[in-house]
Structure 1
Amino acid sequence: MKEITARLWENKMYGTTFGKGQYRKAIYNGTLEILSPYAKYLVDFEEVEAWFHFPKSPVHVEMANRLKNTPTNEDGVLMSWIYRYEAGIKSAVDGYASLDMNYSRITIQIDDSAHGIDEYWELPIRSCIARIPGKPTPALIATTRSELNSPQKPSTNGVFVISKHLRTYKSTLSSDLRC
């Protein structure tokens, strides 16, 4: 399995118009980066029905036509078509991504045979905290890299004892990552 990192940002333009009767439907925008061979992909997560009924490229129309049943919206589940991003150009590839907020999981399938990538990932997704003011920070991150799969600071994963009150507090920061 190739190493991949998914970074998702909240779409601040969600729900706004970009033309008469045209609304921005993506709730999260993001990137998928594969390190070897290096490849970058773009994703726009939207509700399942909007994803299925409005593919924007012939490759994705063909993929949607292969589905036997018409998918329906599910609470907390978002879908995205995948686009390869290379030298400022977006090109559609066979593949999709599914974000399940109910179980904090992201599923990614990329079939980019032109670049030697035919992989499937199912990864836990975590929220990020902005550590540097003014620096763009993703809202969610998922990766196969091991250093992000464990807490960043051992002190945030343990139990703290406050001697004054002799109460024990568990840290809620263990799931937060440096992004």
Structure 2
Amino acid sequence: MKEITARLWENKMYGTTFGKGQYRKAIYNGTLEIPSPYAKYLVDFEEVEAWFHFPKSPIHTEMAARLSNIPTNEDGVLMSWIYRYENGVKSAIEGYAALDMNYSRITIQIDDSSHGINEYRELPVRGCIARIPGKPTPALIATSQSELNSPQKPSTNGVFAGGYKQALENLKKYAIQ
């Protein structure tokens, strides 16, 4: 299995229009990166029904037609088609990603046979904290890379090793007396 990292940013353009009666429906935008061989994919997470009913490429339309049941919206679940991003060009591939905020996990299925990548992953999703002012920091991150477990990357602020629990314990121990 290949290492994969998903970085998701809140879509600041969500709900705005880009044409008459056309609204931006993606709640999160993001990237999926595989380091070896290097591949970068783009994702736009939107509600399940919008994802299913409005695919933007023939490959994704065909994938949606293969589903036996029409999916419906679920609270806290977002879906995305996957696009390969190479040399400034987006090309649709067979694949999808599902973001389940209820269980803090992301499911990724990438079938990019032209580049020899066929991956299925379920990864835990963590929030990121902006540590360097002005530097873009993703809102959420999910990875299979072991380097993020220890030592901690600055933007995760210890989240991968239960940092929130440790911070709470330190607060109770030193600040609240």
Please indicate, yes or no, whether the TM-score normalized by the shorter chain is above 0.5. yes
Residue equivalent to 2:46 = 46
Residue equivalent to 1:72 = 72
Residue equivalent to 1:85 = 85
CA gap 1:2/1:155 in 2 versus in 1, 3 angstroms: closer
Alpha-carbon RMSD: 1.9
Task: State the alpha-carbon separation in 1 of the partners of residues 175 and 77 from structure 2.
Answer: 44
1:130-145 map, 5 Å: 130-145=130-145
1:8-157 map, 5 Å: 8-149=8-149, 152=152, 156=163
What's the CA shift string for 1:156-176, capped at 9, x where partnerless?
5644333982xxxxxxxxxxx
Q: Secondary structure in 1 aligned to 2:30?
A: strand
**Amino acid in the other structure paired with 1:136:** P
Give the superposition deviation at 1:146.
Answer: 1.4
Number of aligned residue pairs: 165
Task: State the alpha-carbon separation in 2 of the partners of residues 6 and 148 from structure 1.
Answer: 13
Task: State the alpha-carbon separation in 2 of the partners of residues 11 and 116 from structure 1.
Answer: 31
What's the CA shift string for 1:27-59, capped at 9, x where partnerless?
000000000110000000000000000000000
Runs of 4+ with deviation above 6 angstroms? none
Report the TM-score, using the length of structure 1 for normalisation: 0.87
Give the superposition deviation at 1:80.
Answer: 0.0
Runs of 5+ in structure 2 lacking a partner? 153-157
Q: Secondary structure in 2 aligned to 1:51?
A: helix
Residue equivalent to 1:162 = 174
Task: State the alpha-carbon separation in 2 of the partners of residues 119 and 164 from structure 1.
Answer: 47
Percent identity between the two aligned chains: 81
Find the structure with the greater CA-based Rg: 1
Residue equivalent to 1:169 = none
CA gap 1:164/1:131 in 2 versus in 1, 3 angstroms: closer
Task: State the alpha-carbon separation in 1 of the partners of residues 85 and 69 from structure 2.
Answer: 30
**Amino acid in the other structure paired with 1:162:** Y
Higher fraction of helix: 2
Report the TM-score, using the length of structure 2 for normalisation: 0.88
